[in-house]
Structure 1
Amino acid sequence: MLKQYEEIYKTYFPRVFSFLVKFCGNDELAEELTQETFYQAFLSLRKFKGQSHLFTWLVSIGKNVFYKHLKKNKKDIDSVNIDLVVNVLYSDHLNSPEEMLLKKALVKTIKEKINEIPEKYKNVVILRIYADMPFSQIAETLG
């Protein structure tokens, strides 16, 4: 069983780490989150039913580990570099079907969260993400 864990770790560590670097924008934090992701995955490996690709499952755990990290450190969505999230969504390096599904899920989550914020802040986010406006131009546009 240990050999199997090692193989999973060696195979998927670089991809999970790369995803988390792009997601959080910090190599050191991504390293820590990747370690925690594999720890949580190994604790739950028996629950993995194989209904999705193993990488998809690991990235899902990684996202949850990242969100728990934000909550634990009392940081909110403002601490996430929105440019990095946009880069992940629009990057071409994540091309597998599983990764495309993850992008779609992330877009859906972002849209849901945007809809939850007050209108004046929502407009800023929409102009930044969808119109790719610099903050100075957004300030001028919205007054």
Structure 2
Amino acid sequence: MKGIDKIYSEYFQTVYKYLFTLTQDADVSEELTQETFYQAVKTFDRFRGESKVSVWLCQIAKHLWYKEYKRRNRFTEGFVEEMSDLIPSSENLQESVIESDIKIALYQKIRHLDEKTREVIYLRLTGELSFREIGEIMMRNETWARVIFYRGKQKLMSEEERE
């Protein structure tokens, strides 16, 4: 049981941040994080050690999020409204409005990227994960995560130039 407690304390933040990048909802992220560790305890005997524990946990979390997403059928609905709640207020209202518009426009553009690129960008920007961590979570390597992030950024910049 001490091993499970150690895993929980060591990886809770990683799993929570990963889920928050997917859900953009603190309550759902916390609930799914708890469920992730519950499922991990239930299936620990099947963990073969072929990947890092953090990767294994994030894969469980991702599976639970997709299951929750299908249940709620709301992956992108309301995303912009939820993100606008996260934008900090500014002393100058005009600056705040301009800043909000820019962030909303950016997240709207990110939503139109393919799933893997969108996920890498969310993990990097919102989850503040390193490229190495993103690569591990996505069961790839650091270079792959960097390339996907760079290409996604290039797509966003070229779309911005077209407008």
Alignment TM-score, normalising by the size of structure 1: 0.64
Q: CA separation in 2, counterparts of 1:17 and 1:64?
A: 14
Q: CA separation in 2, counterparts of 1:16 and 1:23?
A: 11
Gaps of 5+ in 1: 108-127
Gaps of 5+ in 2: 80-106, 112-117, 145-151
Q: Deviations over 1:99-135 (max 9, x none)?
A: 3143466x9xxxxxxxxxxxxxxxxxxxx976216x9
Amino acid at match of 1:10: S
Q: Is the 8 A contact 2:54 2:137 kept in 1?
A: no
The correspondence for 1:93, drawn from 118, 122, 129, is 129
Aligned-residue RMSD, C-alpha:
3.4
Alignment of 1:31-42 (within 5 A): 31-42=30-41
Alignment TM-score, normalising by the size of structure 2: 0.57
Percent identical pairs in the alignment equals 27
Aligned twin of 2:95:
none
Q: Describe the shift of the 1:75–1:104 C-alpha distance in structure 2 as closer, same or farther (beyond 3 A).
A: same
Alignment of 1:40-51 (within 5 A): 40-51=39-50
In the alignment of these two chains, the number of paired residues is 117
Q: Deviations over 1:37-94 (max 9, x none)?
A: 1111110000001010000000000000000101122335x34675573231567632
Aligned twin of 1:64:
63
Aligned twin of 1:73:
72
Alignment of 1:1-143 (within 5 A): 2-76=1-75, 78-79=76-77, 82=110, 85=119, 86-88=121-123, 93-96=129-132, 99-103=134-138, 131-132=155-156
Q: CA separation in 1, counterparts of 2:8 and 2:139?
A: 26
Aligned twin of 1:113:
none
Q: Describe the shift of the 1:88–1:46 C-alpha distance in structure 2 as closer, same or farther (beyond 3 A).
A: same
